[in-house]
Amino acid sequence: MWSYLSKRIIQMPLVLVVVSITIFLIIRLTPGDPIQIMLGMQTSPEAVAALRAEFRLDEPWHMQYIYWVGDLLQGDFGRSIRLNAPVLQLLAERLPVSLALALSAMLFAVVVSIPLGLLAALKRNTWIDYLATGYTLFGFAVPNFALAMILIYVFSITLGWFPITGIGSGASTGQGLWGAIQPYVLPAVALGTLQTAIFTRLLRSSMIDVLNQDYMRTAQAKGLQPLVILLVHALKNAMIPFVTMLAIQFGYLIGIQVTIEHIFAIPGMGSAILSAVVNRDFPVIQGFVLVIATFFMLANILADILYGIIDPRIRY
Amino acid sequence: MATQDASSPAATPATYESGTRMALRQLLRNRAAAIGLFGVLLIVLLAIFAPWIIPYDPTAIALSSKLQPPSFAHWLGTDHFGRDVLARMAYGARVSLTVGLSTVAFAALFGVPIGLLAGYVGGQLDNVLMRLMDAFLTFPPLLLGVAIVGLLGADLTTVTLALGIVQIPVLARVVRSSTLVVREETYITATRALGAGAWRLVSQHILRNILSPLVVQITIVFSAAIVAEASLSFLGLGVQPPTPSWGRDLSEARRFMVDAPWLFMAPTGFIIVSVMAINFMGDSLRDALDPRSWVRRAAPTKETADAPADR
């Protein structure tokens, strides 16, 4: 297992190089000059040239890339052209928001999917199984931004239970702990519903697999308590694919928040990239995409590690 | 493939039902498939025949009749420019379906050959190609779309390019893993022993036998592309106004959620129904194309009948 993992970890920088060169190429080979956008058309050519030189935009793209990687290795993500602030500082502001949102979406997905998947597997072909299947089909089909609109209409506009915006703006209408949680509820549900569907379906099918195993019959024959059989023998084994899927989906959640951030006016990483793209703020796009890709890869490696730990049969 | 399909019934003894027909029969017996097929057909027909079905121009501004709730004249109401919402949904379906189809075509054009090459040749080439695909898979799909469309400018070509690139590795992986399995089958060895070249083997025999997982994956790519196009349009990066688009209309409806809630309900409903219908079809296709789920004698007869008939 360790040799497999070390191979994966050694491959990581290589994959990141491919990812960063690709994003570099996309950015540099497309029209649109960030300096021109920022300064407008009336500025003197000298001022434009000076600023271009400051951000090394007058160099050929491969030299820019080498400079960028060199700075990166020293922990310098560069400066935002638009905001004239270090990209690292922006990351420090935006990353915690995105992580908190991904975590709350994950929490919602886990809290709903474990009982739902479990009950659906235990009570197959009953109303609860059909409910779980219906919910899963809906979760797979509804895009998160469309669900967000439905939630806002029902819970914010009609019922008035939740604020429409709130994360990072202090506009929460609640008090104390509820005030801190409240603005996260609707975005987390909208973002996490797809994951809920994935987890429910996965847990249901792996639970059905496990329930048909010989060792379940053995456990029953030994006269163990039904609850012990369910939790220790069945659920523990059914959770193996579930836990690895948790890790993979967490990495994924950080990269798909942009529409949800857009609707709920959340200052996360997705909205930062969106505005950086509009303003051609190259250093911000490069830095943020690299961080998100790193998280995604780390999540996948974590999934492999968890897989090996939980299931001793798995040998890489 | 098409010629191969046409010639195979002749090669198969008449007492055996062809695999394609058997799959089709399985598909029609399934209720979910019927619902899915009905939903997809409905939206496709609406998109194609929109000008003849709906008596309104989706871009004609009529401020005198703005923000009207659903009525007999306007089944889904009108928007803030007085445009008929049903007309906009029907023409928006054209955009969604076009982007979905072209994304699938683009992703398949690159993903299928890469997967076949990696799976059939194997070795170092496989390793290099698949690591490259892994690298592309680490791009957050939507953000790559935002970057490409945002930087290159929004039109159908860039949207297709942006959405297709992230789907190439998805198709390549499915094709590769199925190719690895099929490559080791006895009938492939037999065909090779009969002197078939690599090109003939891959294009006639392997490709044909990996079609079922490929077709299922293509339905998934198709519905993902529709959602992704709507997402980009929602962020203001998709097709530009006044061209109707579900995502763009949904985004504009945000300003009228209190006064005109039907404006956000229509695109939401259309997106959910079309994605659900496509997913239904994909799930049923997977069941119908999987010979193990058939009760009667199935695929092996077809496959074994194939190899010698190729002489």
User: Of B91, B106, B32, nearest to B56 (Cα)?
Assistant: B91
Residues of B within 8 A of A140 (CB-CB) are: 275-276, 279
Measure A301 CA to nearest chain B CA, in Å: 12
Say yes or no: B141 contacts chain A, CB-CB below 8 A. yes
Partners of residue A143 in chain B, C-beta under 8 Å = 227, 230-231, 271, 275
Give the H/E segment covering residue B149.
helix B141-152
- Interface check for B305 against chain A (CB to CB < 8 A): the answer is no
Backbone angles phi, psi at A55, to 5 degrees: -95, 10
Between CA B7 and CA B311 the distance in angstroms is 13
Percentage of residues of chain B with pLDDT beyond 90: 17
- Residue B249 is predicted with a pLDDT of 87
Distance CA B238, CA B157 (A): 10
pLDDT at residue number B258: 82
pLDDT of residue A192: 92
Residue B17 per-residue DSSP state:
P
Lowest mean pLDDT among A31-35, A227-231, B183-187, B300-304: B300-304
Question: How high is the pLDDT of residue B253?
Answer: 84
| Confidence at residue B301, expressed as pLDDT on a 0 to 100 scale | 41
- Quote the percentage of chain B above a pLDDT of 70: 85
Q: Is the pLDDT of residue B97 over 80?
A: yes
Q: Which two tokens stand for residue A90?
A: 């922006």
CB contact under 8 A, B276 and A26: no
- The strand pairing partners of A86, in sequence order, are A79
pLDDT single digits (tens) B191-231: 888 888 888 888 888 888 888 888 889 998 999 999 999 99
Q: Of chain B residues 243-302, which have a CB less than 8 A from chain A?
A: 247, 250, 253-254, 257-258, 261, 264, 267-268, 271-272, 275-276, 279-280
pLDDT at B17: 63
- Given a cut of 70, the residues of chain A with pLDDT beneath it are 1, 32, 40-42, 165-175, 312-316
**Which tokens is B218 given?**
């293509």
For chain B, the average pLDDT equals: 79
- List the single best residue of B129, B143, B252 to mutate versus A (max A Cβ within 10 A): B143
CA distances from B184 to A173, B50, B181, B188, B289 (A): 64, 49, 6, 7, 20
Note the pTM of the prediction, 2 decimals: 0.82
Show residues of chain B in contact with A141, CB under 8 Å: 223, 272, 275-276, 279
Residues 6+ apart with CB under 8 A from B11: B305, B306, B309
Segments making up each domain of chain B, as ranges: 41-53+71-294
pLDDT of residue A199: 92
Fold (CATH) for B41-53+71-294: MetI-like fold (1.10.3720)
